[in-house]
Amino acid sequence: MARNETEIGEGPREFPRTTWGLVAQVGDTGNVRQAGLETLCHRYWKAVYCYVRSAWRTSNADAKDLTQGFFMWLVQADVLERYSPEVGRFRHYLKGLLRNYVRAQQASSGRLKRGGGAKHVALGDELALADLIPDTKSESPEQAFDRLWVEGLMERALLRAQTYFTAAGLELRVQIHEAYELTSGEEQPTYAQVAARLGVKAADVRNHLHHMRERIRIEVRAELRETVNSPGDLDAEWQELFR
């Protein structure tokens, strides 16, 4: 019989009255506000940057300025304080704000000055930015945004899952997952190859991979739950992002 999410460690599915805790944090003052801004930027700057470059064919410098300016504007204009999960998913809300912001910038001044007063918003290094240049022939700006949103979501979920099992003394589970799922070779190894490399049985590889994948799924849904207002909205967001 399949176990439900509570049984495998995800916890109860109740939704608090205010689910988007990060918005409240960004709307606070002092160090709490700064920490919230840094978290917001860390989670979503790649998706925002890629959307800007794809939709408006901007240069790297302009895209960086617009991305930095956008996050500062979110705080300075207090637009996040007006967000409520009842009006829609945060991902769609953020894209709508981004469209409006960039259009307003283009209409008023063409582009921001270098730095744009957003010196406290740190983006990735130049090599990371180069990897984010979208292929406008193969995906739309909306698709590029969602792809980077999902990639970031999965990276954070993987890191939390690795931390969870390492703290529990189950480093082997992490090692098996890395050897099987995160291999850099052209061909994915077999269960038998991973088992031989790590000195375990093939059945153990299958079992540990199952637990690791379940933990990653739990972590993904835990973060998505912060941006929706009900179990139904959570399932809809899951299906849309991972269909």
Res 80: pLDDT: 74
What are 40-83's pLDDT values in tens digits? Answer: 778 888 899 888 888 887 788 888 888 888 888 877 777 777 77
Question: At residue 118, does pLDDT exceed 60?
Answer: no
Indicate the range of 18-27, 99-108, 131-140, 174-183 predicted with least confidence: 18-27
pLDDT at 106: 77
For residue 24, what pLDDT is reported? Answer: 57
Confidence (pLDDT) at 1: 34
Write the burial class of residue 172 (CB in 10 Å: 0-12 exposed, 13-18 middle, 19+ buried).
middle
Q: Let me know if residue 4 belongs to a domain.
A: no
What average pLDDT does the segment 115-140 reach? 60
208 and 231 part of one domain: yes
Give the per-residue pLDDT at 115: 41
In the predicted structure, residue 93 carries a pLDDT above the cut 90:
no
Looking at the predicted structure, is the pLDDT value of residue 26 above 80?
no
Domain boundary among 133, 154, 177: 133
Q: Which residue has the higher pLDDT, 83 or 231?
A: 231
> 62 and 125: one domain?
yes
User: Do 122 and 217 have their domain in common?
Assistant: no
Q: Is 85 or 74 the better-scoring residue by pLDDT? A: 74
Assess if residue 1 is contained within a domain: no
145-159 pLDDT per residue, tens: 998 899 999 999 999
Q: Specify whether 119 is located in the same domain as 159.
A: no
Split at pLDDT 50, 70, 90, the class of 233 is: confident
Average pLDDT over residues 208-229: 91
| Domain assignment of residue 67, yes or no | yes
Residue 7 lies in a domain: no
Query: Based on the domain organization, do 120 and 164 belong to the same domain?
Result: no
Whether 4 has a pLDDT exceeding 70, the answer reads no
Residue 6 lies in a domain: no
Domain boundary (133, 164, 195) is at 133
- Do residues 51 and 81 both lie within one domain? yes
24 and 87 within one domain: yes
Which one is predicted more confidently, 137 or 47? 47
Domain total of the chain: 2
Q: Are residues 45 and 109 in the same domain?
A: yes
Same domain, 29 and 115: yes
- pLDDT for 173 beyond 70: yes
Domain holding 84, by residue range, is 16-133
Same domain, 196 and 171: yes
**116 and 151 co-located in one domain:** no
Domain stops at, among 133, 160, 187: 133
Residue 9 lies in a domain: no
pLDDT of 227 > 70? The answer is: yes
Residues 40, 126: one domain?
A: yes
What is the average pLDDT score of the chain? 78
